[in-house]
């Protein structure tokens, strides 16, 4: 028993020391309809500090040393907008552009079908979370390598209320136990494969990939990446995103 524990500890240590040697595939989801944005341009193509949101997400993953390939899932009617995107924005790790499906869950699955056979971990990310940084990605990948599954998240600072269909409060969970899930969400490839299969078999619909893993019985580790990893869903989010970029000192450093 002691020998097994020592071997397990050694394997975990080696993984922590050499995560760059592990093949991590990134699936970036950019097939949303952007209903809440309310304009002719989808959120993935909204300019944030002079650069489309989808490009900012692509650049972050392209710059992350742990990521070996990127699969981009897009809307069919926007495919022309992606012509030459890798060359124009110098995205070296973009391997495939595939069509998304009718839901986020199925779009992620389409991306997953196109990852390399060498993939040992897969990172799913919403293109609209364009303030993600290579450091946040790396931190989440490292946690997944150690735990099997890990997702970016931030601690809730407001009191959260659970309500019924009539908006009457039914529960007030303790704030210390409430976290806000975001992306990337990183899984050992076979854990994701099993989770997706179980979700299809049980006909469940989820809003994030971690929910599939949880449903399949896998433990998911939360990784605190702070509050800057916001998702662009409405026009006011653009102002907030640019304010965050300006605070970082890079708001307009990547203008075309």
Predicted pLDDT at 4: 44
Q: Which domains does the chain have, with CATH numbers?
A: 2-248 (3.90.550.10)
Q: Are 228 and 244 in contact (CB under 8 A)?
A: yes
Average pLDDT, stretch 78-85? 94
Predicted pLDDT at 41: 79
The residues, any chain, with a CB within 8 Å of residue 53's CB and separated by 6 or more, are 43, 44, 45, 46, 47, 127, 128, 130, 232
Tens of pLDDT, residues 135-167: 999 999 999 999 999 999 999 999 999 999 999
CA distances for 93 relative to 62, 97, 99, 126, angstroms: 6, 12, 18, 17
In the predicted structure, residue 13 carries a pLDDT above the cut 60: no
In the predicted structure, residue 40 carries a pLDDT above the cut 80: no
What is the rounded (10 degree) CA torsion for 136, 141, 143, 146? -160
Predicted pLDDT at 6: 44
What is the pLDDT confidence band of residue 251, given thresholds at 50, 70 and 90? very low
The residues, any chain, with a CB within 8 Å of residue 176's CB and separated by 6 or more, are none
Q: 128: which 2 tokens?
A: 């609209």
| Strands 51-52 and 121-126, sheet pairing | unpaired
Predicted pLDDT at 250: 55
Q: 73: which 2 tokens?
A: 């899932």
Tens of pLDDT, residues 178-204: 999 999 999 999 999 999 999 999 999
What is the pLDDT confidence band of residue 249, given thresholds at 50, 70 and 90? confident
Predicted pLDDT at 21: 74
Average pLDDT, stretch 211-228? 98
Cα separation, 112 vs 124, whole angstroms: 9
In the predicted structure, residue 90 carries a pLDDT above the cut 60: yes
In the predicted structure, residue 15 carries a pLDDT above the cut 70: no
In the predicted structure, residue 66 carries a pLDDT above the cut 50: yes
Per the confidence metrics, is the pTM higher than 0.85?
Answer: yes
Predicted pLDDT at 38: 55
In the predicted structure, residue 120 carries a pLDDT above the cut 90: yes
Predicted pLDDT at 19: 55
Cα separation, 170 vs 134, whole angstroms: 39
What is the pLDDT confidence band of residue 50, given thresholds at 50, 70 and 90? very high
CA distances for 190 relative to 103, 186, 243, angstroms: 22, 12, 39
| Strands 162-163 and 149-155, sheet pairing | unpaired
């Amino acid at each position: 028993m002691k020998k097994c524990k020592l071997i397990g500890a050694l394997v975990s240590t080696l993984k922590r020391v050499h995560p760059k040697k592990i093949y991590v595939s990134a699936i970036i989801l950019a097939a949303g309809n952007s209903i809440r944005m309310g304009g002719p341009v989808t959120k993935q193509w909204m300019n944030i500090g002079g650069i489309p949101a989808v490009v900012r997400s692509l650049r972050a993953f392209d710059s992350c040393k742990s990521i070996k390939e990127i699969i981009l899932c897009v809307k069919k009617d926007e495919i022309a907008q992606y012509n030459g995107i890798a060359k124009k924005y110098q995205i070296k790790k973009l391997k495939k552009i595939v069509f998304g499906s009718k839901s986020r869950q199925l779009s992620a699955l389409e991306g997953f079908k196109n990852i390399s056979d060498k993939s040992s971990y897969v990172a799913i990310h919403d293109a609209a979370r364009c303030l993600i940084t290579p450091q946040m990605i790396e931190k989440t990948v490292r946690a997944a390598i150690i735990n099997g599954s890990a997702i970016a998240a931030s601690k809730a600072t407001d009191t959260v209320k659970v309500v019924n269909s009539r908006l009457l409060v039914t529960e007030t969970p303790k704030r210390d136990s409430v976290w806000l899930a975001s992306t990337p969400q990183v899984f050992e490839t076979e854990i994701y494969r099993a989770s997706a299969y179980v979700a299809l078999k049980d006909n469940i619909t989820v809003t994030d990939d971690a929910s599939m893993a949880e449903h399949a019985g896998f433990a998911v580790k939360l990784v605190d990446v702070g509050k800057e990893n916001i998702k662009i869903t409405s026009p006011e989010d653009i102002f907030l995103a640019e304010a965050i970029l300006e605070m970082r000192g890079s708001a307009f450093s990547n203008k075309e």
